[in-house]
Amino acid sequence: MTITTSEVEVEDARKLLGFFNEPGGYTPGGFSSALIEAMLRADQTNLALLRVVYPSLGLAVHLYKNVPGGLDQLTELVNSHP
């Protein structure tokens, strides 16, 4: 199964990029930062549970954590929506 950014909202990609101070992102607010940190710390089971409530952001974090080139895919998504 190929996982792509097609289900990631651009704003969520921007939040994740900003969390890591990557170009194209912006610093997420306090709740979003805490949520991203929780997702980054979560094992696969708990990340899947968080993705039920936050599907777009959860997929963005999954791409970052588990897919080679995932950060590049997120950067491309953001760059294609200036």
Model's pTM, two decimal places?
0.91
- Two structure tokens written together for 51: 């993705």
Q: Please state the domain extents for the chain.
A: 5-79
Express each pLDDT in 54-73 by its tens digit. 999 999 999 999 999 999 99
Give the pLDDT of residue 32. 97
Residue 2: pLDDT band with limits 50, 70, 90: low
